[in-house]
Amino acid sequence: MVKQLDAVFHALADPTRRTMVRTLAGADRTVGELAAPHPISLAAASKHIKVLERAGIVQRTVRGRQHVCRLVAEPLAAASDHLRFYERFWTGRLDALEAFVTPAPEEDPE
Amino acid sequence: MVKQLDAVFHALADPTRRTMVRTLAGADRTVGELAAPHPISLAAASKHIKVLERAGIVQRTVRGRQHVCRLVAEPLAAASDHLRFYERFWTGRLDALEAFVTPAPEEDPE
DNA sequence: TCTATTGTCAACCATGTGGTTAAGCAACTG
DNA sequence: CAGTTGCTTAACCACATGGTTGACAATAGA
């Protein structure tokens, strides 16, 4: 079973998917609208969106024959938190020591 | 050719790799030290580290027969920036409007 | 009702991923 | 010098990924 964070990072590892998410940040879109800017078939776009759904980043509402996609930000927040842990490495400020205190989330131990 | 951001997100999509990075946040480590906590062969760990290197997250220094790995945070900062764009979606504060003004980085158009 | 639109699903293909084992090199240790 | 340690590389395997095409379902519109 894939963990949420795995799925989120994997979803964002593809530029096509990142563009889709970026678009959804502006407004809800149908599958067709999300696919349009990309030189891929609708079926391929459909797969991309399924990846985003699996990561919990996108939620779908069927409205008539169109599927309207909506951005769900919480999983992105989790990923952002994970990265923010390393903030003290690229900001000179060592006062970001709070991050250092944060207990490492104990991943992997299965 | 894979772009940096792709590589960073991909590198972080694996819990084993995330644990390695987390470990490197504490101190530099040899390949063996990074591999030790994981139930995988040294060869597999070597591959993981190569993925991290390709993403620019890790730099290697050969010291005698051991390869010492060091965390390089800049690529993580780039990924963090990307995610921070969506911050306004999970914080109620709409005063994070600066993010809204940020021009979308125009990905994908190659 | 007939047709066009929107999208999914299944099958297929090429490539990448994550793991293994086995071989080998380089560098310490005796 | 011989053996051990630390690590990479190559070959292999099973499976996931990203793309395709073609068939199908459901809705919208004539």
Each domain of chain A, given as residue ranges in start order, spans 4-72
DSSP reduced 3-state for A110: coil
Biggest CA pair distance of chain A: 54
pLDDT for position B98: 47
B20-47 pLDDT, tens digit per residue, is: 999 999 999 999 999 999 999 999 999 9
pLDDT for position B106: 47
Out of B73, B84, B89, the one facing A89 most closely (by C-beta) is B73
Q: Which regions of chain B are under pLDDT 70?
A: 1-2, 92-110
- Domain B4-74's class? mainly alpha
A28-69 pLDDT, tens digit per residue, is: 999 999 999 999 999 999 999 999 999 999 999 998 889 999
Q: How far apart, in whole angstroms, are the C-alpha atoms of residue A110 and residue A3?
A: 11
Mean pLDDT of A79-103: 71
CA of A95 to C1' of D17 (A): 42
Out of A14, A74, A83, the one facing B79 most closely (by C-beta) is A83
CA angle A57, A58, A64 (to 5 degrees): 175
Q: What is the CATH number of domain A4-72?
A: 1.10.10.10
* Mean pLDDT for chain A overall: 85
pLDDT for position A110: 35
User: For residue A6, what are its two tokens?
Assistant: 């795995």
B40 CB contact with strand C at below 7 Å: yes
Beta strands in B8-97 (DSSP E): 29-30, 58-63, 66-71
B52 CB contact with strand D at below 7 Å: no
